[in-house]
């Protein structure tokens, strides 16, 4: 199909559709077919024609463009019993996208080729708490630059990138409205400085949203509608509907950490009252578990908590139970509001799942009976690196959906 035009043109103005749009749309269709073929298999032009409904002639012509743009490449032959073997096509592994992440205690960058393979990856520990945005971005830029040049030596060209940040972002503007744990407020990031002179530029993501996208690609069950909840210092979330991230009108949707789960509860860092985060965030759990972890790093805190849980310490167990119950209340509400009844636990929720699961299920049963089956409560399939991979994957996907952006 085609494309354009926000539906309507008031006296304002809108985009007309012309024949060229058909080509753009079909380029994306063909490229999408190549990308979606079972990994390992490299479809031939004929198979693509079959999958897309386009004629062989059209596919040939479209494939020619994609080859010229360097987005795909031909790879060996593809015998099928009788007849002339097809020429395999695959996403060009010589082109990559940079996933980048700023988190509380590290920065990282990874080159991910168009097929989704991590080519190079570097992590640098760095205490970013209350560090202004400029120096952090500068450090990340040098890290990314190093990864980029190493990739270049291996013959891999970086086309663009995606940056994940733990905070409320305005993706379009490249602005971080607020990132409590970094201490950033209304930070306008100079994203282009991270990867100078790339055709695709750098996109900005909320960390949990990016991780949700990574989850989407790596889910063994192939789920296309779910809520990803990420337990971190706070509680983040990403909503995936129809294999698309649901961002809401301004790009801030999915902030499940601030669903009210206890109207009589305590003050939240957001200024609200009784938010999920005040019960199920890391600091809240540590405090309720009676663990003194003021200066400790997050990972140290988590392993201390785990030990306490494995030792069966009552306060730790009840703190996690309480978090599970609160999470259930929040998820009961999201099931109704966005009609999603499948949840993926990430961050510390994934680590705590053995202790969290039962109270969570009971809570869901109490507050939203019949909405969630136990199988719909799952644990993240991607680990720590979810945000990184998701940011890169999302940029790759946007390229696959609009390949004409590369000269073609």
CA dihedral 228, 232, 233, 239 (to 10 degrees): -10
129 binds, among a second copy, DNA, none (CB under 5 to 8 A by kind): none
Do 94 and 155 contact (CB within 8 A), yes or no?
A: yes
Q: Name the minimum Å distance from CB 271 to a second copy.
A: 4
86 binds, among a second copy, DNA, none (CB under 5 to 8 A by kind): DNA
Q: What is the DSSP letter of 193?
A: G
Q: Name the minimum Å distance from CB 36 to DNA.
A: 17
Q: Which of residues 12-41 bind DNA (CB under 7 A)?
A: 16-20, 22-23, 26
Q: Which of residues 280-339 bind DNA (CB under 7 A)?
A: none
Nearer to DNA, 64 or 134 (CB): 64
Q: How far apart are CA 253 and CA 168, in angstroms?
A: 9
Nearer to a second copy, 257 or 347 (CB): 257
397: left (phi over 0), alpha (psi -120 to 50) or beta: alpha
Q: Name the minimum Å distance from CB 231 to DNA.
A: 46
37 binds, among DNA, a second copy, none (CB under 5 to 8 A by kind): a second copy
State the residue for tokens 């079959």.
50
Nearer to DNA, 49 or 350 (CB): 49
Do 258 and 272 contact (CB within 8 A), yes or no?
A: yes
Nearer to a second copy, 267 or 315 (CB): 267
Exposure string over 141-170, b if 16+ CB within 10 A, otherwise e: bebbbebbeebeeeebbbbbbbbbbbbbbb
State the residue for tokens 């779910």.
226
CB under 8 Å, gap of 24 or more: what pairs does 136-140 form?
Answer: 136/102, 136/107, 136/182, 137/102, 137/189, 137/190, 137/193, 137/194, 139/107, 140/100, 140/102, 140/107, 140/109, 140/194
Phi and psi, residue 135, nearest 5° = -60, -35
Q: Name the minimum Å distance from CB 292 to a second copy.
A: 29
Overall residue count recorded for the chain in this entry: 408
Q: Which of residues 209-268 bind DNA (CB under 7 A)?
A: none
Q: Name the minimum Å distance from CB 38 to DNA.
A: 16
Pairing status of strand 157-165 against strand 95-102: parallel
- Answer yes or no whether residue 126 interacts with DNA by CB under 7 A: no
Distances (CA, A) of 86 to 45, 140, 401: 7, 44, 25
Question: Which x/- pattern over 59-98 shows residues binding DNA (rule: CB under 7 A)?
Answer: -xxxxx------------xxxxxxxxxxx-----------
Q: Name the minimum Å distance from CB 89 to DNA.
A: 8
83 binds, among a second copy, DNA, none (CB under 5 to 8 A by kind): DNA
39 binds, among a second copy, DNA, none (CB under 5 to 8 A by kind): none
Q: Name the minimum Å distance from CB 17 to DNA.
A: 6
Q: Name the minimum Å distance from CB 398 to DNA.
A: 20
Nearer to a second copy, 24 or 73 (CB): 24
60 binds, among a second copy, DNA, none (CB under 5 to 8 A by kind): DNA
Six token digits for residue 207: 């960390």
Contacting range for DNA; rule: CB under 7 A; set: 49-57, 203-211, 226-234, 302-310: 49-57
User: What is the binding site for DNA (CB under 7 A)?
Assistant: 16-20, 22-23, 26, 44-47, 53-58, 60-64, 77-87
């Amino acid at each position: 199909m085609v494309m354009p035009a926000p539906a309507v043109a008031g006296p304002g103005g809108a985009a007309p559709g012309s024949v060229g749009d058909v080509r753009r749309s079909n380029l994306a269709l063909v490229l999408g077919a190549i990308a979606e073929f079972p990994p390992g298999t490299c479809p031939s032009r004929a198979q693509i024609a079959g999958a897309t409904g386009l004629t062989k002639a059209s596919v040939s012509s479209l494939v020619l463009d994609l080859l010229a743009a360097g987005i795909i490449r031909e790879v060996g032959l593809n015998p099928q019993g009788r007849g002339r073997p097809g020429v395999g096509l695959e996403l060009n592994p010589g082109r990559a996208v940079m996933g980048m992440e700023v988190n509380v205690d590290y920065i990282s960058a990874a080159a991910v080729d168009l097929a989704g393979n991590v080519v190079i990856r570097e992590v640098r520990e760095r205490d970013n708490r209350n560090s202004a945005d400029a120096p952090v971005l500068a450090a990340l830029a040098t890290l990314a630059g190093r990864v980029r040049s190493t990739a270049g030596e291996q013959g891999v060209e970086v086309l663009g990138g995606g940056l994940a940040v733990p905070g409320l972002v305005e993706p379009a503007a490249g602005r971080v409205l607020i990132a409590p744990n970094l201490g950033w407020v209304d930070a306008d990031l100079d994203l282009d400085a991270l990867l100078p002179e790339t055709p695709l530029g750098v996109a900005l993501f909320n960390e949990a949203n990016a991780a949700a996208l990574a989850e989407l690609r790596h889910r063994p069950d192939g789920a296309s509608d779910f809520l990803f909840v990420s337990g971190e210092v706070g509680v983040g979330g990403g909503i995936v509907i129809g294999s698309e991230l649901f961002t809401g009108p301004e790009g801030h949707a999915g902030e499940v950490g601030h669903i009210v789960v206890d109207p009589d509860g305590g003050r939240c860092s957001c200024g609200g009252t009784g938010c999920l985060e005040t019960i199920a965030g890391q600091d809240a759990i540590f405090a309720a578990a009676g663990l003194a972890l003021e200066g400790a790093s997050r990972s140290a805190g988590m392993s201390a908590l785990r030990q306490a849980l494995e030792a069966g310490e009552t306060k730790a167990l009840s703190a996690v139970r309480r978090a599970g119950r609160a999470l259930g209340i929040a998820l009961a509400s999201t099931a109704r509001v966005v009609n999603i009844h499948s949840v993926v636990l990430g961050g510390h929720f994934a680590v705590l799942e053995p202790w969290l699961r039962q109270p969570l299920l009971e809570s869901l049963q109490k507050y939203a009976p019949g909405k969630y089956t136990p199988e719909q409560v799952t644990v993240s399939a991607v680990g720590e690196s979810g945000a990184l991979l998701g940011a890169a994957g999302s940029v790759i996907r946007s390229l696959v959906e609009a390949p004409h952006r590369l000269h073609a």
